[in-house]
């Protein structure tokens, strides 16, 4: 009997150990995430999602079938803008179901929650608005205001911008882009580089100044220029990735 109790106790400890620091970060970051119990993330409406599916995955498998725990697989390097290591793509592993639950599960449900944020209100001659999910509007406004205060030489990277909300898959995949949730922004495409554009031999390229990147990070956005599979125009709101890397 005692043996049985000890085994049950160890099993409970093992399962709960799966609800690690990163699971706690999700609870403290997203108000819809209420708890992590026995390897399940529990949402405010009672929905349960597996945190760690326990599967061993290759790089490609992790991209295609990321569980919630996999989203934290690579540590995001805050501050520094060094060339990424091979296949180091922090934040590129996303669990679609998780973000559909947080921001909306269809184009129309996200669209209903979009709000306007003024882009670079002092620097641009004409009034320009971007549309983002209401949950991140205050952060995007803070980013816009701080970018607005940068010296003039930085402004060409920030306007005209590539876009924000767009319910679509990531190019060449069946996975939803973070633009679908109104939580991402592409800055000026003209000064940007994207790994899919480099035909033939892979070579990391970037023109976006780190000063711009640092401002986005300060408010919880990660930058696609820190991915081996680089996308240097792309910023997305992923405060859990920033917090986990501290
Ligand atoms: Zn993008």
* 45 to 36, 70, 111: CA distances (angstroms): 14, 23, 21
User: According to the model, what pLDDT value does residue 173 have?
Assistant: 87
Tokens of 188: 């000026």
Rg, Å, the chain Cα set: 20
Is pLDDT above 70 for 7?
no
Q: How far is the CA of 233 from the centre of ligand 1 (A)?
A: 6
Per-chain mean pLDDT for the chain: 94
**Dihedral sign computed on CA atoms, order 147, 148, 149, 150:** positive
Angle at 78 between CA 239 and CA 244, to 5 degrees: 45
Distance CA 102, CA 181 (A): 9
Q: How far is the CA of 40 from the centre of ligand 1 (A)?
A: 30
Q: How far is the CA of 16 from the centre of ligand 1 (A)?
A: 36
Asked whether the beta carbons of 209 and 191 are under 8 A apart, the reply is no
How do the domains of the chain map onto residue ranges? Answer: 105-244
Tokens of 143: 């980013």
Distance CA 83, CA 234 (A): 16
Q: How far is the CA of 186 from the centre of ligand 1 (A)?
A: 5
Q: How confident is the model at residue 199 (pLDDT cuts 50, 70, 90)?
A: confident
Q: How far is the CA of 226 from the centre of ligand 1 (A)?
A: 13
Q: How far is the CA of 185 from the centre of ligand 1 (A)?
A: 6
Tokens of 237: 């709101």
**Peptide bond between residue 160 and the one before it cis (omega within 30 degrees of 0):** yes
Q: How far is the CA of 224 from the centre of ligand 1 (A)?
A: 8
Distance CA 32, CA 106 (A): 17
User: According to the model, what pLDDT value does residue 172 have?
Assistant: 84
Q: How far is the CA of 90 from the centre of ligand 1 (A)?
A: 15
Distance CA 134, CA 132 (A): 6
Q: How far is the CA of 26 from the centre of ligand 1 (A)?
A: 23
Helix (H/G/I), strand (E/B), else coil: 125 = coil
Q: How far is the CA of 17 from the centre of ligand 1 (A)?
A: 35
More reliable by pLDDT, 93 or 173: 93
Condensed to tens digits (0 to 9), the pLDDT of residues 40-85 reads 999 999 999 999 999 999 999 999 999 999 999 999 999 999 999 9
**Chain-centroid distance, C-alpha 218:** 14
Provide the CATH number for the domain formed by 105-244 in this structure: 3.30.1380
Q: How far is the CA of 179 from the centre of ligand 1 (A)?
A: 6
Q: How far is the CA of 8 from the centre of ligand 1 (A)?
A: 47
Distance CA 242, CA 246 (A): 7
């Amino acid at each position: 009997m005692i043996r049985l109790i000890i085994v049950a106790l160890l099993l409970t400890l093992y399962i709960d150990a799966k609800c690690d620091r990163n699971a706690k970060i999700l609870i403290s970051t997203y108000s819809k995430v209420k708890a992590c119990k026995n390897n399940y993330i529990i949402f405010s409406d009672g929905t349960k999602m597996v945190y760690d599916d326990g599967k061993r995955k290759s790089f490609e498998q992790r991209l295609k079938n990321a569980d919630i725990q996999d989203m934290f697989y690579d540590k995001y390097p805050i501050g520094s803008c060094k060339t990424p290591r091979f296949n180091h793509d922090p934040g590129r592993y996303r669990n679609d179901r998780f973000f559909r639950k947080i921001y909306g599960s269809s184009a129309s449900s996200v669209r209903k929650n979009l709000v306007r944020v003024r882009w670079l209100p002092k620097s641009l001659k004409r009034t320009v608005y971007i549309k983002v999910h209401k949950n991140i509007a205050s952060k995007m406004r803070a980013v816009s205001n701080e970018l607005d205060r940068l010296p003039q030489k930085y402004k060409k990277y920030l306007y005209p911008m590539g876009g924000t909300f767009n319910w679509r898959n990531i190019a060449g995949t069946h996975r939803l882009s973070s633009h679908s949730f109104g939580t991402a922004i592409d800055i000026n495409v003209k000064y940007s580089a994207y790994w899919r554009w480099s035909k033939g031999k892979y070579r990391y390229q970037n023109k976006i100044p780190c000063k711009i990147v640092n401002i986005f990070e300060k408010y919880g956005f990660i930058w696609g220029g820190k991915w081996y599979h680089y996308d240097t125009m792309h910023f997305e709101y992923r405060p859990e990735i920033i917090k986990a890397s501290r």
